[in-house]
Amino acid sequence: MSNKLNNFIHEKIAPNFEKGGKFESLWSVYDSFHTFLFVPRQTAGRKGVQVHDSVDSKRVIIMVILALVPALLVGCWNVGLQHDRALGIDDGWFMQFLYGFVAFLPKVVVSYVVGLGIEMAVAAYKREEVAEGFLATGLLIPMIVPVNTPLWMIAVATAFSVIFAKEIFGGTGMNIFNPALITRAFLFFAYPKAMSGDAVFVRTGSALCDSPIEGTQVVDGFSGATPLAAVADGSFNPETFSTMDAFIGTIPGSIAETSTAAILLGALLLLVTKVASWRIMLSVFAGGAVMSAIVAAFSENAPTVAQQLCLGGFAFAAVFMATDPVTGCRTNTGKFIYGCFIGVMAIIIRMYNTGYPEGAMMAVLLGNAVAPLIDHYVVEANINKRAKRIKA
Amino acid sequence: MASLIKLNKGLDINLAGAAEQKLVSVKAADKVTLVPDDFVGSTPKVVVKAGEAVKAGDVLFTDKLHPEIKFVSPVSGTVEEVVRGERRKVLGVVVVNDGKGTSVELPAVNPTSASADEIKSALLNAGVWPFIKQRPYNVVANPEVQPRDIFVTAMDTAPLAPDFAFVVKGQEEDLQRGISALAKLTAGKVYVGAKAGSKLQLNNAEVVEFAGPHPAGNVSVQINHIKPINKGEQVWTVSAFDVIVMGRALAGKVDFTRTITVAGSEVVSPAYAKVLPGQTLASILDGNVKHVEYTQRYIAGNVLTGQNAGKDGVVGFFDNTVTVIPDGGDTDELFGWITPGLNRYSTSNTGLSGLFGLFKSKKWTLDARLKGGPRALIVSGTWEKVFPMDIYPEELYKAVLTYNIDKMEALGIYEVAPEDFALCEFVDASKTPVQQVIADGLVKLRKEME
């Protein structure tokens, strides 16, 4: 980077956005683009720590986004694969991926434009920096909704979530519930028809707008029902169902959730970089496994433990949703309890609430709600220890 | 045989420019500035006027509430100026050094035979009392109180800080005298926290050795592991570096000279030096700073708790280090959020320097940039890794932030000082000014409670 360009930015461009400048009200927007390019020049003040670790929230969030990439790629391919299967054709993995990607693209554009638009407006109003949190949320949203969700629904739900689940609490870092899951929950309760059933997870029309493709028709006997829907209506057979399909991700479902293998690849990145808590991730899987074993012991035709962990959004929730540090437990002991709670609840809701095939989303939201309570009791133990010391 | 306490949590920031174990001479102080802000919790009442002649040991200002606590001139000469800021707040008292070294006469006190009151008044009159701080609140100790115990830390584990073993060489008697005096002031014990393997031998005190990374040398950490403070109790804390100065005063010498490290990546030959508190950084660093085109930052103190004082700033009353690092305010670093990070210091595994452990094995030149924008707390669990006390740092921070007094007490506010949160501030991805919040909270709480 040449010095001339730097000087031009700092002397000619920046002042326009600073107080008294022409575009003062757009300072937040300018800042978000500038800090995207350059590490901020701001230095430590007179007092306080004079040097800092180079990690910042941008770097943390970007790791989450990178970790989502494997699930995104496999998920897009699977959208095309399911499409081909429904129509009884096979045009190769690349065309299948392309089909899925084209189906996915408008959704992510809508989610980013709506969400970031609101975030930037709020930041400009508050004259604060634009927080990065939505970069992850905005990618998560199109990944966890059925492929046939209309774009306007995504827009409405994203706006609702960013405003009412995040900004009214004070923005990134202050929210109680995971904004991506709130979007999903909003869609589920506001537009239940568009969120469940056999038709929503497999797109049979054209990639971009689902208009019927001339000369094609859905093959007889094809069902786009997800395995969990089969579990809910009792038609699931653990012996004939291929766990491998669920692990690789060649079953109907949202983009994010189908491929457990890809999710685990992302999990690896999150664990190696320590962006996600291994305590939470491990205990969600442990809680889920234990509860699945209990369920399998007491009911016929229940999925096996391995099937339970591969099906639906369980693995995705364990790796990406439960580990959100803002809405989860913040104490180390609390993280174990929080994770187990989510794992157990996800399986319970999935198996015993027949009106509601996917329990993982609800379990994480429920976990978000009780996380402060869990932390409260963990910290209370420390408080009691201190109180006892006085008496002793 | 001293007992040993091993600490695993914490972090040694491996900075370039560590001081070589040799003493170099620096320019004598042509003037010194005593800064009342160094003495947290006391309000100064200046008793000298500009133009007045003073000897070393003459009182410059006293504490408004406790006039017996005196702050004295370390040199003889003339009071040049009483610097005042907004609302006439005293920012500093400047004394021009006449170089004659005339000093007031101090009686020598033998701590083994003297009574507690005699020792107290000797320390107060010599102007070395302010070295003693009290917990709670980390303020200058109230002489009317008898503390439960006195904790002395004989190790400074902060980045580029001096090695106590090197500093104390030749001053062992002064140290012992000071320790014996302190022992008379408490009904309990004097605990001395020393570096593991230092084999520090002291009478009238219990030596406890500590092994582990910074902040193992912070007195709060040592107290927390030896005998934690409870609500209603008061303990005193002193740094052994300062006990040496106290010991000299008890021998009748007015000598505030302290051995500090002059260090940092921008220092040509980092080493130890004898300086006076209040001496300007420029006089200490004269000719010893690299000539470069970028801006440099002169820090009075270490990089964690020190102040960006500037060239004309002065060494504080309690400082053990003077550090010079690049400022970094004129640096433009591209795409910090995605570069592999081999050459960016990070303890976090999101960069290769963290992942490969290079932050431990390599020597680093760090500048003063925050390297990110301030955010609400997002990442959890990083503070706890550098906070080796039985306290939840984040919960306590939040209690202070919301000024919930009951919670603050319950979570251990009386056991901590702002310096204990320095590493939390360093590793925090949200760039939270933790020390400032804790410091403000302590001031506010003290006003409320006293």
Q: Count other C-beta atoms under 10 Å from residue A241's C-beta.
A: 18
Which chain A residue is nearest to residue B415, measuring alpha carbons?
Answer: A386
Task: Decide if A53 and B348 are in contact by the 8 Å CB cutoff.
Answer: yes
Chain B residues whose beta carbon lies within 8 Å of the beta carbon of residue A58: 336-337, 372-373
Between A43, A58, A273, which is nearest B372 by CB? A58
Check residue B91 and give its pLDDT. Answer: 95
Domain count, chain A: 2
Question: Does position A41 have pLDDT exceeding 90, yes or no?
Answer: no
Token pair 């083994």 in the structure block, residue? B112
Q: Is residue A10 part of a domain?
A: no
Which of B241, B256, B271 lies at the terminal end of a domain, its last residue?
B256
The answer to whether the beta carbons of residues A155 and A207 sit under 8 Å apart is no
| Shared domain check, B239 and B160 | yes
Question: Does position A1 have pLDDT exceeding 60, yes or no?
Answer: no
Long-range contacts of range B255-258, CB-CB < 8 Å, 24 or more positions apart? B256/B56, B256/B74, B258/B320
Which of B214, B233, B256 lies at the terminal end of a domain, its last residue?
B256
What residues are paired with B298 via a beta bridge? B324
What are the φ/ψ torsions at residue B252 (nearest 5 degrees)?
A: 90, 10
Q: Is residue B352 part of a domain?
A: yes
Check residue B67 and give its pLDDT. Answer: 96
Task: Decide if B376 and A174 are in contact by the 8 Å CB cutoff.
Answer: yes
What residues are paired with B71 via a beta bridge? B61
The upper half-sphere exposure of residue A334, i.e. CA atoms within 13 Å in the direction of its Cβ, equals 27
Task: Decide if B371 and A385 are in contact by the 8 Å CB cutoff.
Answer: no
- What tokens appear for A312 in the block? 């639906």
| Shared domain check, B58 and B80 | yes
Q: Is residue B371 part of a domain?
A: no
| Shared domain check, A65 and A189 | yes
Instruction: Quote the Cα angle for B101-B249-B218, to 5°.
Output: 115
Q: Is residue B272 part of a domain?
A: yes
- Pick the residue of A8, A43, A51 with the most B CBs within 10 A to test the interface with B by mutation: A51
Q: Is residue B262 part of a domain?
A: yes
Which chain A residue is nearest to residue B329, measuring alpha carbons?
Answer: A41
DSSP string, A66-108: HHHHHHHHHHHHHHHHHHHHHHT---HHHHHHHHHHHHHHHHH
| Shared domain check, A153 and A87 | yes
Between B232, B375, B380, which is nearest A131 by CB? B375
Task: Decide if A47 and B307 are in contact by the 8 Å CB cutoff.
Answer: yes
| Shared domain check, A252 and A192 | no
Nearest CA to B7 out of B360, B388, B384, B391 is that of B388
What residues are paired with B194 via a beta bridge? B209
> What is the maximum span of chain B, computed from C-alpha positions, in angstroms?
67
| Shared domain check, B1 and B108 | yes
The answer to whether the beta carbons of residues B153 and B200 sit under 8 Å apart is no
Q: Is the ipTM of this complex over 0.90?
A: yes
Give the β-pairing of B271-275 and B20-24.
parallel
Instruction: Quote the Cα angle for A61-B426-A64, to 5°.
Output: 10
Between CA B127 and CA A55 the distance in angstroms is: 44
Mean residue pLDDT across chain A: 89
| Shared domain check, B439 and B420 | yes
Q: Is residue B376 part of a domain?
A: no
| Shared domain check, A382 and A308 | yes
Residues of the domain holding B317: 258-361
| Shared domain check, B264 and B249 | no
- Helical pair B116-126 and B172-184, crossing angle rounded to 10 deg: 120
Of the pLDDT bands very low, low, confident and very high (cuts 50, 70, 90), residue A105 is very high
A32: Cβ contacts below 8 Å, ≥ 6 apart: A120, A123, A129, A130
CA A257, distance to chain mean position in Å, is 10
Which chain B residue is nearest to residue A278, measuring alpha carbons?
Answer: B381
Helix %, strand %, coil % of chain A (to 5): 65, 0, 35
Which chain B residue is nearest to residue A273, measuring alpha carbons?
Answer: B349
Write the pLDDT tens digit of every residue in A280-324.
Answer: 999 999 999 999 999 999 888 888 999 999 988 999 999 999 999
Residues of the domain holding A90: 26-37+57-207
Contact map slice: A 230-269 vs B, CB within 8 A: none
| Shared domain check, B297 and B275 | yes
| Shared domain check, A157 and A74 | yes
Token pair 């074993």 in the structure block, residue? A293
CA B417 to each of CA B6, B307, B334, B384: distance values in angstroms, whole numbers, following the listed order: 21, 16, 37, 16
| Shared domain check, B326 and B182 | no
- Pick the residue of B224, B370, B424 with the most A CBs within 10 A to test the interface with A by mutation: B370
Task: Decide if A59 and B299 are in contact by the 8 Å CB cutoff.
Answer: no
Write the pLDDT tens digit of every residue in A357-388.
Answer: 778 999 999 999 999 999 999 999 999 999 89
- Pick the residue of B348, B383, B406 with the most A CBs within 10 A to test the interface with A by mutation: B348
A and B: number of Cβ contacts within 8 A: 223
| Shared domain check, A317 and A244 | yes
Question: Does position A133 have pLDDT exceeding 70, yes or no?
Answer: yes
Token pair 């002059």 in the structure block, residue? B262
Chain A residues whose beta carbon lies within 8 Å of the beta carbon of residue B433: 45, 48
Q: Is residue A223 part of a domain?
A: no
Of the pLDDT bands very low, low, confident and very high (cuts 50, 70, 90), residue A2 is low
| Shared domain check, B87 and B232 | yes
DSSP string, B137-151: TTEEPPTTPPPS-EE
Which chain A residue is nearest to residue B228, measuring alpha carbons?
Answer: A389
Q: What percent of chain A has pLDDT above 90?
A: 54
Chain A residues whose beta carbon lies within 8 Å of the beta carbon of residue B377: 173
- Pick the residue of A2, A55, A269, A386 with the most B CBs within 10 A to test the interface with B by mutation: A55
Chain A residues whose beta carbon lies within 8 Å of the beta carbon of residue B347: 53, 55
| Shared domain check, B72 and B208 | yes
Task: Decide if B371 and A50 are in contact by the 8 Å CB cutoff.
Answer: no
| Shared domain check, B415 and B352 | no
Which chain A residue is nearest to residue B304, measuring alpha carbons?
Answer: A49
| Shared domain check, A313 and A183 | no
Q: Is residue B129 part of a domain?
A: yes
Check residue B352 and give its pLDDT. Answer: 86
| Shared domain check, A124 and A180 | yes
Check residue B48 and give its pLDDT. Answer: 95
| Shared domain check, A354 and A241 | yes
The DSSP secondary-structure symbol of B82 reads E
| Shared domain check, A255 and A121 | no
Between B341, B348, B410, which is nearest A274 by CB? B348
3-state secondary structure string across B373-417: CCCCCCCCCCCHHHCCCCCCHHHHHHHHHCCCHHHHHHHCHHHCC
The answer to whether the beta carbons of residues B317 and B306 sit under 8 Å apart is no
The answer to whether the beta carbons of residues B73 and B55 sit under 8 Å apart is yes
Identity at A178, one-letter amino acid code: N
The arithmetic mean of pLDDT across residues A30-54, rounded, is 87
| Shared domain check, B176 and B33 | yes
Q: Is residue A194 part of a domain?
A: yes
| Shared domain check, A177 and A127 | yes
Which chain B residue is nearest to residue A63, measuring alpha carbons?
Answer: B350
Which chain B residue is nearest to residue A174, measuring alpha carbons?
Answer: B376
- Taking only the tens of pLDDT, chain B with its 450 residues reads 579 999 999 999 999 999 999 999 998 899 999 999 999 999 999 999 999 999 999 999 999 999 999 999 999 999 999 999 999 999 999 999 999 989 999 999 999 999 999 999 999 999 999 999 999 999 999 999 999 999 999 999 999 999 999 999 999 999 999 999 999 999 999 999 999 998 899 999 999 999 999 999 999 999 999 999 998 999 999 999 999 999 999 999 999 999 999 999 999 999 999 999 999 999 999 989 999 999 999 999 999 999 999 999 999 999 999 999 999 888 888 887 778 888 889 999 888 888 888 898 899 999 999 988 888 999 999 999 999 999 999 999 999 999 999 999 999 999 999 999 999 999 999 999 999 999 999 999 999 988
Q: Is residue A18 part of a domain?
A: no
| Shared domain check, B170 and B198 | yes
Which of B220, B240, B256 lies at the terminal end of a domain, its last residue?
B256
The answer to whether the beta carbons of residues A331 and A379 sit under 8 Å apart is yes
Domain count, chain B: 3
Task: Decide if B435 and A62 are in contact by the 8 Å CB cutoff.
Answer: no
| Shared domain check, A82 and A32 | yes
Assign A262 to helix, strand or coil: helix
Q: Is residue A42 part of a domain?
A: no
Which of A173, A207, A241 lies at the terminal end of a domain, its last residue?
A207
Which chain B residue is nearest to residue A383, measuring alpha carbons?
Answer: B410
Between CA B154 and CA A182 the distance in angstroms is: 54
Assign B213 to helix, strand or coil: coil
Contact map slice: A 322-381 vs B, CB within 8 A: 325-326, 328, 330-332, 335, 375, 379
Q: Is residue A365 part of a domain?
A: yes
Q: Is residue A16 part of a domain?
A: no
Of the pLDDT bands very low, low, confident and very high (cuts 50, 70, 90), residue A206 is confident
Length of chain B in terms of residues written? 450
Task: Decide if A1 and B430 are in contact by the 8 Å CB cutoff.
Answer: no
Contact map slice: A 26-85 vs B, CB within 8 A: 31, 35-60, 62-63
